[in-house]
Amino acid sequence: MDTKELLKKVRKIEIKTRRLSDHIFGGEYHSTFKGRGMTFSEVRQYQFGDDVRSIDWNVTARYNEPYVKVFEEERELTMMLMADVSGSELFGTNKQFKKEIVTEICATLAFSALQNNDKAGLILFSDEVELFIPPKKGKSHVLRIIRELLEFKPKSNKTDIAGALKYLTNVMKKKAIVFVLSDFIDDDYERTMKIVGNKHDVTGIRIYDEREESIPNLGMVQMQDAETGAITLVNTQSKSVRNGYEKYHRERVNYFKDTFTKSGCGVIDCRVDESYVKKLLGYFKRRG
């Protein structure tokens, strides 16, 4: 992808996702993810309906009329986006690849953080951490995140979710809002997830294609594993083969949901041909 084409794609995603964050997600994001507490802002004269418990008695005595303390939410939150860039993300049988949906969701969340004056960072992972962009504020920083999501070429096609989560715990010492975006075709990350869930506010967003749920009866078909590159001749006429595949897929999905839920983390399922806008809004409203 040349520079001109890349900038055009970045701009297109910016326009679409910024509109969403400005008009839809900004407020929902703010109400869902609270700050670290309330901090003192100022005192003002008492008004009808104010809580009498907020009266500042020292100032009231000094001016001989009631004054109340005003507090505001202390935000300064940090969002970390963890995006799976393994080979299976370049799969899609409908309008878009999984990777394209991941990019749009990340951009929408990053602009929502920007609108609320929060920091946003990015971790791209396969079976190793491919790229780490430390959390920062500002529009240019969000645009860099989008550029990397569009353009980055991973060294590996495999997946290691546990390794990426361990990396997160090493680089993020303070509590952060974490979104993990992947198809979660992996296992053995339950123990690490519990550690991360105790420290951070984590949500797993599973991006998948309907064709990954089952194999249609197409006779003998040559299939390639997107992560290992292995090519296998599969007899899709065999009911046991089709059932075996569906069972494997269900096990991965159940493992993802059980692991995140038991760790006190949120879960969102989003098929590539579904509206991620509705999925995110529904999740934010439930949590808010």
pLDDT given at position 240? 85
Q: What is the pTM of this model?
A: 0.79
First to last CA, the chain: 40
Closest CA to 150 of 80, 208, 90, 228: 90
If you ran DSSP here, which 8-state letter would residue 23 be given? I
Residue 240 CB partners (closer than 8 Å, separation 6+):
none
What are the structural domains of the chain?
A: 3-31+75-287 (3.40.50.410), 37-74 (no CATH)
Amino acid at 172: M
Mean pLDDT across the chain:
86
- Separation of alpha carbons 260 and 82, rounded Å: 15
In terms of DSSP H, where are the helices of the chain? 3-20, 26-32, 57-63, 98-115, 139-151, 161-171, 190-199, 239-262, 276-287
pLDDT digits (tens, 9 = 90+) for 24-37: 666 677 777 765 55
Tokens of 40: 């003192």
Residue 210 CB partners (closer than 8 Å, separation 6+):
93, 94, 271, 272, 273
Please enumerate, as own/partner, the contacts of 281-287 that have beta carbons within 8 Å and a separation of 24 or more. 281/24, 281/25, 281/28, 283/203, 284/25, 284/28, 284/29, 284/31, 284/32, 285/28, 287/32
Residues of the chain with pLDDT below 50 are: none
Residue with tokens 């992972």: 125
Tell me phi and psi for residue 96, to 5 degrees. Answer: -135, 155
